[in-house]
Structure 1
Amino acid sequence: MRRALHAEWTKLVTVPAHLWTLAAVTAVLAAAGVLVAATQRPPDCGPGGGCAPQDITALVLSGVYLAQLAALAVAVALVSGEYQPRVILLTLAARPGRGTVLLAKAAVATAAVLVSAVLGVAAALAAGHEVLSARGFTARAGRGPVPLSDPALLRAAAGTVLYLVLVGVLALGAAWVLRHQAAAVGAVAGLLYGPFVASRIVPMPVHVLHAVQDASPMSAGLAAQSLVPGTGTAPIGPWSGLAVLAAWAAAALSAGWLMLERRDG
């Protein structure tokens, strides 16, 4: 397993495009956090203070909506690069254990996305907090940045990192099934954004809307970012939402393993 991990890590770090894409995960999260924070204005609640609270943390972390495209692109490229040309034949000849190859790629992709996501989320929260404070936001009544040491904020940060990692695993599984970079990226992007967009623009009964949101990998997974009740992407708990995304990722990776066992060789 150690040799397989070393081989896959070498494939990752020796391709500049992979490194630039990983850097994009960090850069997009950080830049979006600053830009979104810079466009916010403290709510004018009037004397009674009756305005609805804002989920400032989710706004600052909203770069995840774009950063996930870079995360999934890296994971897909690690697999699809084996098929154009058919380098997979050499990989399997050198390492006949197909499960070992799949797990090594999954471990490398997870580690790479994890590091990029941690750096990006930390930068977004730190910079966004400073920008919001400079613009006059206060922490009272949910109208300002939550302290960086707050357990709820740390949960949202960890949830965002886990979300990106699970998106990478989901993309890895899809790439094993489809074996083509454009097809895999398109399929995963459609799975993430399709139900999410539909739940925003298609009129549905409330129970149907909630069912779609709770089952959608993006809506359910990003519920982990919500700190203000009623403002999340789905009416589901943060860890339950991540469990939904994890189930999608596990199903995709299992399908990829089955296809690798039965088709390639």
Structure 2
Amino acid sequence: MRRALHAEWTKLVTVPAQLWTLVAVAAVLAGGGALVAATQRPPVCPPGPGCAPPDTTALVLSGVYAAQLAALAVAVTLVAAEYHPRLIVLTLAAQPGRGVVLAAKAVVATGAVLGTALVGVAGALTAGRAVLLTRGFTGRGGRGLVTPSDPAVLRAGAGTVLYLVLVAVLALGAGWILRQQAAAAGSVAALLYGPFLVTRIVPMPDRVLHAVQDASPMPAGLAVQSLVPGAGTAPLGPWAGLAVLAGWAVAALAAGWLLLLRRDG
């Protein structure tokens, strides 16, 4: 396993485009959070049923909507790039165990995304707090000033990191299934953004809307960011939403594993 991990890590770090894509995960998270925070104003009404304060924590973490494209691109490329040309033949010849190859790619891809996501989320919370201060926000958590030491804010930040790791796992599975970079990346992007856009554009009864949100990987997964009741992307609880995304990711990776055994075994 150590040999396979070293080989996959070498493939990742010796491709400049992959390294810049990883940098983009952190940069977009931090920069996007600061930009969104700069557009906000403190609520002018007192907190209560008639006042809907902005969920500032979710806002400063909203760079995840773009950062996930970089995360999935890293994972897809690590798998699908070896099929065109057929470099996967050399990889499997050097390491005949299909499960070892799949596990090594999964560990390297998710580890790389985990590291950059941690940096990006920390940057987003820090920069977002600084910008919100200049905009006149006070208070704590989702109702006002983002406070990184607040347990709820820490949960949202940790959940965002885990969300990006699960997106990478989902993309790995798509890479094994489709074996083409553009097709795999496009399919994962469509799965993430498609239902979300439909719920924003197409009028539907609340029961149907909630069912779509609860079953869709991005709306469900990003419910972990919400600190203000009723302001999330799905009516699910934070960890239940991440469990939905994890189900999609595990199913995709399992399908990729079965196809790897049948087509390349």
TM-score, normalised to structure 1, is 0.97
1:128 maps to what in 2?
128
1:168 maps to what in 2?
168
- Distance in 1 (CA, whole Å) between partners of 2:174 and 2:141 is 43
Alignment of 1:190-229 (within 5 A): 190-229=190-229
Alpha carbons 1:34, 1:127 under 8 Å: kept: yes
Alpha carbons 2:192, 2:216 under 8 Å: kept: yes
Alpha carbons 1:163, 1:221 under 8 Å: kept: yes
Of the structure 1 ranges 118-127 and 35-44, higher mean CA displacement relative to structure 2 is found in: 35-44
2:257 maps to what in 1?
257
1:156 is paired with a residue of what secondary structure?
helix
- Distance in 2 (CA, whole Å) between partners of 1:247 and 1:48 is 37
Q: Deviations over 1:3-49 (max 9, x none)?
A: 00000000000000000000000000010111111111112227999
Give every structure 1 segment of 4 or more consecutive aligned residues whose post-TM-superposition deviation is greater than 2 Å: 46-51, 140-143
Alpha carbons 1:199, 1:212 under 8 Å: kept: yes
Alignment of 1:1-265 (within 5 A): 1-45=1-45, 50-139=50-139, 143-265=143-265
1:27 is paired with a residue of what secondary structure?
helix
Structure 1 residues 48 and 172, CA, compared in 2 at 3 Å: closer, same or farther? closer
CA drift of 1:205 comes to: 1.2
Q: Deviations over 1:217-261 (max 9, x none)?
A: 000000000001000000000000000000000000000001100
Of the structure 1 ranges 173-182 and 144-153, higher mean CA displacement relative to structure 2 is found in: 144-153
Alpha carbons 2:169, 2:249 under 8 Å: kept: yes
Alpha carbons 2:143, 2:228 under 8 Å: kept: no
**Gaps spanning 5+ residues in structure 1: where?**
none
CA drift of 1:147 comes to: 1.7
Of the structure 1 ranges 169-178 and 136-145, higher mean CA displacement relative to structure 2 is found in: 136-145
Structure 1 residues 69 and 141, CA, compared in 2 at 3 Å: closer, same or farther? closer
Structure 1 residues 47 and 33, CA, compared in 2 at 3 Å: closer, same or farther? closer
> C-alpha root-mean-square deviation of aligned residues, in Å?
1.6
1:73 is paired with a residue of what secondary structure?
helix
Q: Figure out how many residues of one structure are paired with residues of the other and give that number.
A: 265
CA drift of 1:148 comes to: 1.2
Of the structure 1 ranges 142-151 and 115-124, higher mean CA displacement relative to structure 2 is found in: 142-151
Structure 1 residues 223 and 10, CA, compared in 2 at 3 Å: closer, same or farther? same
- Distance in 2 (CA, whole Å) between partners of 1:107 and 1:77 is 14
- Distance in 2 (CA, whole Å) between partners of 1:70 and 1:181 is 13
Q: Deviations over 1:171-191 (max 9, x none)?
A: 000000000000000000000
**Letter of the 1:195 counterpart:** P
1:81 is paired with a residue of what secondary structure?
helix
2:38 is paired with a residue of what secondary structure?
helix
- Distance in 1 (CA, whole Å) between partners of 2:154 and 2:250 is 25
Structure 1 residues 248 and 46, CA, compared in 2 at 3 Å: closer, same or farther? closer
- Distance in 1 (CA, whole Å) between partners of 2:72 and 2:176 is 13
- Distance in 2 (CA, whole Å) between partners of 1:191 and 1:233 is 15
Alpha carbons 1:8, 1:108 under 8 Å: kept: yes
TM-score, normalised to structure 2, is 0.97
